[in-house]
Amino acid sequence: MKNKLIISVLLFCTLTSCTGWLEVAPADRLTRENFWQTKEDVLSAMVGIYSLLRDNVETYIYWGEVRGDLLASNVGRAGADKEAFDVFLVNPSNSMIQFVSIYRAINQCNLILKNIPDVAVRDGSFNDKLIKEYTAEARMLRAYCYFMLARTFKDVPIVTDPAERDDQNFYIPKSPQADVYSFVYDDINYAVDNLPQSYATVLETKTRCTYYAALAMRAEVALTMGYYDLAIQDCETIISSRTYYMLPGTDYLSIFYPPACTAESLWEFPFNKQLGQTSVLRNRFNSNQHFNGTHLRDLFSSEAEQLYGIRENASLTSGDLVNKYNVSTDDAHWILYRFADVLLMQAEAYAHTTTGNANDRFQKVASLVEMVAKRSLIQNDPENLFVFTVDPPLSVDEADDMILNERGRELCFEGTRWYDLVRFASRDNFARKYLLTDRVVASFNGIEQQSIAPRIANPESWYLPVSAADIVSNPALKQNPYYE
């Protein structure tokens, strides 16, 4: 890939207080020649990665949410390229599919990993423990990037050398998705083994890579790769630590509203308007009304949800706009992993493992789903509140429906829905392909269903095309077969 696809981007920060953890200072204050001298330089470069990833929130919405069954584009609001995601008409010229920004973050990770040994020689205070922690942080961030790319585009190039010279080989071909997932798993394993459980402040602990955030990510990677027992173990480590818990239903929106960083959060991207960090979330979901969540209401139609449910009002406005990020300060946080997600990932793993007695596994699925559902109930009817129960599923198919429905109610509009559908529908050689196709088709009206169904019938269509601009930059890239 040429430098314009993977370039060296160094963003520097001032780490002066907990509120300054992601405050970016002008990049022209330092040059490459006098950089990489101290551990503080490594940390500054690390903050640059978080800034790059945080600035891509809108991309995550289109890649991971709009193509699902719960969020729809309001036609004429966002423009043709963005609205093409909703109707599965994304082509290689679409401006929203370039992965240059993700590879910039990967390149920054690679720069850090390459330069840490030299900094260790120059800075005697850069001790072995901190070296391992910074290495683990860079590898987890790189793992996050590649996991995002592989889930979105399937086969992608694996690049481990930073782009520093014009005479480097930038023409890297794609690696198979399975190899990318293995690479991600190696990186996240190192992160689990070496990251700290917490940092000096709550803000840093919630917004930087930690041991528990790495466990949550490894659990999701394990689910994607079919390592169900490992996913159960990682989720159980988080649950049994008693470090995290679900907030009462009445505090549900505080998960996203500044200052956020609640006891439920394992990892999030923060925004702080006082530091000039404005989130696009309220602008896109509310002010400019790019989307509606009308179809989500179907998931709140049960008697229990109608009687007690708080999440429907917390998730949607009366006009079916997204309510989660509707804060006047325009700096709602973007959540990557939180405790409710961990519980539902463990439920999913129990549904699909073959270890142990099936009845016991399904009972565990029900109890985990019930924990999430009950948390979000309002005590409008104290006599009946705790009568609410979730009956164990009788089959894997029934468990999948139960978990997908609960993930939709709990995690809607948080950038996970499309990846959830693909993961569930891809298992066992697409044995439950209908979990994606039926739900997505049902989210359109009768006339539209006839055109949408054939567009998503082929699982290869579930991945986005490689950008034509990226192929021009790197002739070694090949277009995804479905789009040739």
Q: DSSP letter string over 349-411?
A: HHHH--SS-HHHHHHHHHHHHHHHHHHTB--SSTTTGGG---PPPSSHHHHHHHHHHHHHHHH
Looking at 140-149, 191-200, 305-314, 468-477, which range is the least confident one?
A: 305-314
Spatial contact of 393 and 362, defined as CB atoms under 8 Å apart: yes
Spatial contact of 213 and 239, defined as CB atoms under 8 Å apart: no
Summarize the confidence of residues 239-266 as an average pLDDT: 95
Question: For 217-231, how does the pLDDT look when each residue is reduced to its tens digit (9 = 90+)?
Answer: 999 999 999 999 999
State the chain's mean pLDDT as an integer.
90
CB-count burial class (<10 Å; 0-12, 13-18, 19+) for 16: exposed
CA atoms within 13 A on the CB side of 169: 7
376 alpha-carbon distance from chain centroid: 22
Beta bridge partners of 338: 265
Alpha-carbon distances, residue 118 vs 37, 64, 111, 121, 242 (angstroms): 8, 38, 11, 5, 39
Alpha-carbon distance of 365 to 350, in angstroms, equals: 6
Is the model's pLDDT at 385 over the cut of 60?
no
Query: Which residues have C-beta within 8 Å of that of residue 432, sequence separation ≥ 6?
Result: 397, 400, 424, 425
Summarize the confidence of residues 379-403 as an average pLDDT: 80
Summarize the confidence of residues 249-255 as an average pLDDT: 92
Alpha-carbon distances, residue 48 vs 11, 54, 107 (angstroms): 4, 10, 11
CATH number, span 225-412: 1.25.40.390
212: nearest Cα among 185, 236, 232, 230: 236
Question: For 351-383, how does the pLDDT look when each residue is reduced to its tens digit (9 = 90+)?
Answer: 999 999 999 999 999 999 999 988 866 555 555
Q: What is the pLDDT of residue 391?
A: 94
Alpha-carbon distance of 480 to 402, in angstroms, equals: 33
Residue 20: pLDDT band by 50, 70, 90 thresholds?
very low
Q: What is the pLDDT of residue 388?
A: 73
What is the torsional sign of CA 265, 269, 275, 280? Answer: negative
Spatial contact of 29 and 67, defined as CB atoms under 8 Å apart: no
Looking at 30-34, 186-190, 477-481, which range is the least confident one?
A: 30-34
Cis peptide before 259 (omega within 30 of 0): yes
262: nearest Cα among 272, 274, 248: 248
Q: What is the pLDDT of residue 14?
A: 28
What is the torsional sign of CA 99, 93, 80, 436? Answer: negative
Question: For 398-450, how does the pLDDT look when each residue is reduced to its tens digit (9 = 90+)?
Answer: 999 999 999 999 999 999 999 999 999 999 999 999 999 999 999 999 899 99
Count other Cβ atoms within 10 Å, centred on residue 319: 10
Summarize the confidence of residues 76-94 as an average pLDDT: 97
142-163: buried (b, 16+ CB within 10 Å) or exposed (e) per residue?
Answer: bbbbbbbbbbbbbbbbbbeebb
Count other Cβ atoms within 10 Å, centred on residue 38: 15
Is the model's pLDDT at 25 over the cut of 60?
no
Could you tell me the residue ranges of all domains in the chain?
225-412
Summarize the confidence of residues 119-128 as an average pLDDT: 96
Give the helix/strand (H/E) hosting 13: strand 12-13
Residue 321: pLDDT band by 50, 70, 90 thresholds?
very high
